[in-house]
Amino acid sequence: MGIISRMRDISPYMLVIFVVSFIAFMVASDSNLGTLLNSSSSTGNVVGTINGEEVSYQEFEQRVKEQSDMQRQQNPQAEVDDNIIRQAVWDQFVEEILIRQAGEAAGIKVTQDEVLDIMLDSPPDYLTRNFTDSAGKFNRQAYLDVMTNPDIIAQNIAAGKKAGMIPQTVDPAEEVAKFKNSLLKIEEFMYKSRLLEHFRRASGTAASIVSPAYLKNKYVNEGTTFDFDYIQFNINNVDAKSLGKPTEQELQAEYEAVKEFRKQKPARKIKYVTFPLEPSKQDTLIASKKIARIQQSLTEALTPADKLTAFDQYFAEYAGTQQEYQPVKKLAPEVASLLGAAKQGDIIGPVTTASGTFLYKVDSLRSGVNQLVKASHILINFGTNKDSSKAFATQVLARAKKGEDFAALAKEYSQDNGSKDRGGEYDYFPKGQMVKPFEDACFNNAPGSIVGPVETEFGYHIIKISDKISDEIKYSEIMISIALTMNTKKQLRRDALSFKQQLDDGQNMESLAKKIKKNVVETMYFDTQMPVLGSQSMTNFAFSNEVGAISEPLELKYYGIVIAQVTGVRESGLVPFEDLKEELTKNILIKKKMKMLKDKAFSIYQKLKNSERLFAVSGIDPTIEVKSVAKVRNNGLVDGAGNEPALTQKAMLAPLNKINEPVQGESGWYIYQVIQRTDADIKAFPKAKRDLQMTLSSQAASSAYTQWFNALKEKADIKDNRGKLFRD
């Protein structure tokens, strides 16, 4: 029931709220909607270009602001990181513009009739949710009334004012204008999302075409099983030290063989030192002195009145906060453990926790003023036959009363999608929040009762009353935390600037960092699209300077004050020989190991090939182990060996009972012998063909758009200037 909200009870004032919050619901439903919220162009600073098309600073920042505001409205307590939002908005711009450009190039268009058909006949969830009750019933007529005649809002506002439900200051014309503007933006978003859907379908359709030959081959591979024995000559058992280091000539030859496959984009690498913005020892001492002072005052207080006076003094001095009445059972666990059994006027603390040191005063306790109920329910919708639904609800009620697990019954039978996954449970709620029959059943029955069926407009409810509470507490708290003071922050900035100046004078970063007991960290290579250390400004610094350049002190979230130095520059083209040396060395050693294993495998094979079973190898070399696997399919997976597609492919086609010539796999060489094979039922293929084709097509289509778009983005000329315009 989503706290059993009631569409039939939507008041005129609620329609006004709907106007104001409509876009908020859509942004929460689909983050891409944020890309349309400002369509005006600007001739100001350019945040970036996508294939020559500019993204203006004004438009970009407007979208960032709107998405930031939206996050704050949805969760006022959570911290909003504008840098993360800027990255998301930039990604939205890139996708939006590239898709539109691709549509223009391909001649793909979205017509106005197409958009109107969607909005009126097949509206998406973010448009219908305000007109859908928690049982899933969509009030189409109410939706069409508002969408096709927005002026109806003015009529509802007028009626609401007359009934005293809406403030007289609300301007009907202004609210209607806001809603019409919202509809225009929704329509614009529809164009963009519909174009995106065209490309998703097109790429998915192209990728989902599966050839008949591949289908049959897939069916045979999945349906054929075989048992075989094998000997593995594992590459991990070869001691690399015995092979020696590759020569420069060998490395150069390997580089020539692979260099064409090792192309790179422009990339940079930096090393850096951080000065974390953390409280100093002096800051800790300041907090400790405050706590000691409070403790001393409370200890020296001779009477309860003296303690209250001391508390009030520090409450004012350290900007304490007063918490209004709240249910004792709903206090945070760490607070409940301290105040749960306290009496009015008690002072508790100072108590140190992970969040700081707290001192509490119980201002007031009361009971019976605001009763809350905790309950669970099972909802049975009316369906097409109200009587049969009631009869079924009665059966479920009887099972619950007999002691069956209520939560399990709710998960199985409840049709309230908002609560069934929680076993039908709703947390403590007051009067006035639920529909009346449901509320009456909850508040008029004792905890532990199971009642029903209770009829509401949503259907029949079986209700279990879990608990009732009315004990409330009002308290004040003083928190002393170890905080970063302005003096400490200024000192850290001076230290960072001094470090930078010494680097400018020619000092070595590692030596200088060692003197002040700091670590130097070097990044991997990164491209222009990656905000290194979470900072586009730092990325821009790296790409705007040569090796050796030293950054100004830059304050970065999660890092503190950072001093960086460019240590590596890669331009587009082939990866240089020096950068690939480690990889080349590894490749050469692998090849040498494989050559050794091949020689050993063929030597054993020559002695073993005429034997009846592989186990005869024990007479040749007792240290060699034979492994047996059963019901293997040609999917590359072999117990004890891992992913070995070459081995399963060979084994599937090999003659029975023959010891076969060694085959090279991913992890070494293998000698194998197939003992038994059960072929796929080819006669059943025509029947299974359709389901297999649908599965393979769906798998291919699901990733097709991402692959296509990534390729489109890879070829695009994208210039990102955010690092020049924004400080992280």
Write down the pLDDT at residue 161: 73
Tell me the whole-structure pTM to 2 decimals.
Answer: 0.57
* Region label for 116, one of left (φ > 0), alpha (ψ between -120 and 50) or beta (otherwise): alpha
Which CATH number describes the domain made up of 264-278+484-574? Answer: 3.10.50.40
Write down the pLDDT at residue 727: 66
Tokens of 408: 């399990």
Q: Which residues pair with 366 in a beta bridge?
A: 472
Q: Which residues pair with 360 in a beta bridge?
A: 348, 477
d(CA 320, CA 363): 13
Which tens digits make up the pLDDT trace of 82-94? 778 888 899 889 9
Q: Is the confidence at residue 11, as pLDDT, over 60?
A: no
Q: Torsions phi, psi of 712, nearest 5?
A: -60, -45
Write down the pLDDT at residue 698: 83
Inter-residue contact 719 to 51 (CB < 8 Å): no
d(CA 179, CA 20): 8
Q: Which of 232, 229, 231, 233 is nearest to 673 (CA)?
A: 229
Beta strands in 252-405 (DSSP E): 263-264, 267-275, 321-327, 347-353, 356-366, 372-380
DSSP string, 587-623: HHHHHHHHHHHHHHHHHHHHHHTTSSSGGGGGGT-TT
Write down the pLDDT at residue 13: 40
Give the architecture-level CATH label for domain 279-483. Roll (3.10)
d(CA 445, CA 465): 7
Amino acid identity for residue 245 in this structure: K
Percent above pLDDT 90 for the chain: 46
Sign of CA dihedral 234, 235, 237, 238: positive
d(CA 100, CA 95): 8
The band of 448, judged by pLDDT with boundaries at 50, 70 and 90, is very high
Q: Is the confidence at residue 643, as pLDDT, over 50?
A: yes
d(CA 223, CA 36): 50
Average pLDDT value for residue range 234-263: 90
Maximum Cα interatomic distance, the chain, rounded to a whole number of Å: 102
Write down the pLDDT at residue 515: 93
d(CA 21, CA 18): 5
Per the prediction, the chain carries an average pLDDT of 86
The band of 15, judged by pLDDT with boundaries at 50, 70 and 90, is very low
Q: Which helix (H) or strand (E) holds 630?
A: strand 627-632
* Chain-centre distance for alpha carbon 129: 23
Q: Which of 339, 721, 319 is nearest to 544 (CA)?
A: 721
The band of 355, judged by pLDDT with boundaries at 50, 70 and 90, is confident
Which CATH number describes the domain made up of 225-234+579-678? Answer: 3.10.50
Q: Which residues pair with 232 in a beta bridge?
A: 670
Beta strands in 338-449 (DSSP E): 347-353, 356-366, 372-380, 425-429
Do 225-234+579-678 and 264-278+484-574 fold alike per CATH?
A: yes
Half-sphere exposure of 351 (CA within 13 A, CB side): 13
Between vectors from CA 348 to CA 345 and to CA 353, what angle results, nearest 5°?
150
Within 30-81, residue ranges assigned H as helices are 57-74
Average pLDDT value for residue range 227-240: 93
- Candidate ranges 193-197, 244-248, 456-460, 600-604; pick with highest mean pLDDT: 600-604
d(CA 255, CA 456): 76
Q: Is the confidence at residue 341, as pLDDT, over 80?
A: yes
Q: How far is CA 312 from CA 291, 351, 478, 480, in A?
A: 15, 17, 10, 15
Q: Torsions phi, psi of 317, nearest 5?
A: -70, -40
Sign of CA dihedral 630, 636, 640, 641: positive
Q: Is the confidence at residue 501, as pLDDT, over 60?
A: yes
Write down the pLDDT at residue 2: 36
Q: Torsions phi, psi of 285, nearest 5?
A: -65, -40
Q: How far is CA 239 from CA 22, 234, 236, 593, 655, in A?
A: 67, 11, 8, 9, 35
Domain parsing of the chain, residue ranges: 7-205, 225-234+579-678, 264-278+484-574, 279-483
Average pLDDT value for residue range 603-622: 94
Write down the pLDDT at residue 134: 58
* Region label for 473, one of left (φ > 0), alpha (ψ between -120 and 50) or beta (otherwise): beta
Burial of 233 (C-beta count, 10 Å sphere; 0-12/13-18/19+)? buried
213 or 3, which is more confident? 213
* Chain-centre distance for alpha carbon 442: 37
Which tens digits make up the pLDDT trace of 548-595? 999 999 999 889 999 999 999 988 888 888 888 999 999 999 999 999
Inter-residue contact 482 to 279 (CB < 8 Å): yes
Inter-residue contact 307 to 301 (CB < 8 Å): yes
Inter-residue contact 394 to 373 (CB < 8 Å): no
Write down the pLDDT at residue 728: 61
Long-range Cβ contact pairs of 64-72 (< 8 A, separation 24 or more): 64/89, 66/27, 66/34, 66/37, 66/38, 67/27, 67/31, 67/34, 70/24, 70/27, 70/28, 70/34
Write down the pLDDT at residue 6: 33
Average pLDDT value for residue range 710-728: 81
d(CA 217, CA 207): 18
387 or 74, which is more confident? 387
262 or 465, which is more confident? 465
Inter-residue contact 525 to 268 (CB < 8 Å): yes
Between vectors from CA 523 to CA 521 and to CA 529, what angle results, nearest 5°?
145
Average pLDDT value for residue range 587-609: 95
Terminal Cα distance for the chain, rounded: 43
154 or 246, which is more confident? 246
d(CA 323, CA 361): 10
Average pLDDT value for residue range 533-548: 90
Write down the pLDDT at residue 16: 40
d(CA 43, CA 196): 27
Q: In the 8-state DSSP scheme, what is residue 136?
A: S
Which tens digits make up the pLDDT trace of 141-151? 888 887 888 78
Which tens digits make up the pLDDT trace of 657-667? 999 999 999 99
